[in-house]
Amino acid sequence: MRDFFKTSPPSPFIIILSYFGLCGATAVIAAFVLAFFSELSPFLLFLPTILFVTWYAGFTPGCITIIVSLLSIVGLLYYPVNNPLLTFSLNIAIESGIFVMVALYSSYLLDKTKKQDIITKYQKKLHQNKYLIETLEKNYENAQKEIKARDQFLAIASHELKTPVTSMLLQVQSAIHNIRNVSLANFSVANLLKMLEGTEQQSTRLSKMVNDLLNLSLITTGRMELELEEIDISQIVKDVTDNFTEKLQKENMKITIDAQKPVIGMFDKVRIAQAITNLISNAIKYGNGQPIGIKVENSHNHARLYFKDGGIGISKDQQKRIFERFERAVTSREYQGLGVGLYITNQIVKAHNGKITVDSQTNKGTSFIIELPLKQKE
């Protein structure tokens, strides 16, 4: 029952009765005031009541209040008859007319102003709702694109993970078959060694992909924590490059390093090495067999690393997307890999309060530049 009264509007009878009650209260106050200040015009005392009703109820209730107020004023003028508070005259009649006109005009303007305020509020709210809808539509569109990109990434990841596992399984099965069924006289250690080397290569590839997936998970969930220590980033570049010696020889490629002076700062050694590894791997993969140049320098208390190759390059439209999650500048059919190396590298650089930029032209090579502050903010 209580909820009914809360939700149900009052009846017209109650509303009209409240207008009369408000005017009656104003009349009582006016009578009391006029008893002491007989020269005061009663019209001025009723005008605030009329404006109050108009503001909160509207123009029509304001007109009703004007009529009731006028009747109340007449009652004040002629009651009691033998001893009126004010004496009726032509001036009173003129004042009554002016009072009605002023009250009507004031109520009209006030109602118009309130409606305009309401319209303005609704327009503002409509604009906010429109902006909210556009934002939600944009977020929905971005979410749909990200879901599609994620699904494509999962398809690529499952294929890329399956390939080395299948290759390793075949090589191990072949080695077991040769050991069991081939006589010692015909057994070839060279063939077995070749199979084991192939298995090792596929294991390394599989390990890198699993490591990328782990890092991607840590970054996505916000659990990648840095273990900062004072290190020479020039030495890290040299150490990481040494790990690619065998692969460079196999690809018949060369890397030149310009890191003559130590560049010492507070970095996470493992993460920085990983970022450098990703960029060198990219340069080898997409470098088209051309030489790779790496330069390390101290520039205004920042470690600046340059990675340049003469490979296939990256188109302008792809340069904006290569650092995003689940994005690739090439198709999975052209090049193997999960395609998350640059995303992980970018997140590592950002975690160090640094930035990474790219400058590239199609078929003219690519340059990546990393800038890292030597001192990290606590």
pLDDT averaged per 10 residues in sequence order, the chain, 378 residues: 47 66 71 67 74 76 77 64 52 72 80 76 85 90 77 64 74 78 67 79 74 72 80 93 86 90 91 90 87 92 93 85 68 56 88 92 90 82
Nearest to 17 by CA among 70, 64, 51: 64
Q: Which domains does the chain have, with CATH numbers?
A: 2-132 (no CATH), 147-220 (1.10.287.130), 228-373 (3.30.565.10)
Give pLDDT, residue 46.
Answer: 75
313 contacts 365 by C-beta, under 8 angstroms: yes
Three-state secondary structure readout of the chain: CHHHHHHCCCCHHHHHHHHHHHHHHHHHHHHHHHHHCCCCCHHHHHHHHHHHHHHHHCHHHHHHHHHHHHHHHHHHHHCCCCCCCCCCCHHHHHHHHHHHHHHHHHHHHHHHHHHHHHHHHHHHHHHHHHHHHHHHHHHHHHHHHHHHHHHHHHHHHHHHHHHHHHHHHHHHHHHHHHHHHCCCCCCCHHHHHHHHHHHHHHHHHHHHHHHHHHHHHHHHCCCCCCCEEEEEHHHHHHHHHHCCHHHHHHHCCCEEEECCCCCEEEEEHHHHHHHHHHHHHHHHHHCCCCCEEEEEEECCCEEEEEEEECCCCCCHHHHCCCCCCCCCCCCCCCCCCCCCHHHHHHHHHHHCCCEEEEEECCCCCEEEEEEEECCCCC
Give pLDDT, residue 16.
Answer: 64
The CA-to-CA distance between both ends of the chain, in Å, stands at: 61
* Cα distance between residue 111 and residue 119, in whole Å: 12
| Single pTM value for the model | 0.54
Structure tokens at 140: 């929905």
* Cα distance between residue 254 and residue 81, in whole Å: 118
* Cα distance between residue 291 and residue 15, in whole Å: 90
256 contacts 293 by C-beta, under 8 angstroms: yes
Give pLDDT, residue 9.
Answer: 56
Give pLDDT, residue 265.
Answer: 93
- Alpha-carbon separation of residue 332 from 164, 192, 210, 336 (angstroms): 15, 31, 17, 6
Give pLDDT, residue 111.
Answer: 77
Total Cβ atoms within 10 A of residue 194: 13
* Cα distance between residue 197 and residue 358, in whole Å: 36
* Cα distance between residue 324 and residue 216, in whole Å: 12
Give pLDDT, residue 217.
Answer: 72
Give pLDDT, residue 1.
Answer: 38
- Alpha-carbon separation of residue 113 from 46, 63, 108, 350 (angstroms): 21, 16, 9, 53
Give pLDDT, residue 370.
Answer: 94
85 contacts 77 by C-beta, under 8 angstroms: yes
Structure tokens at 185: 């006289």
Give pLDDT, residue 192.
Answer: 77
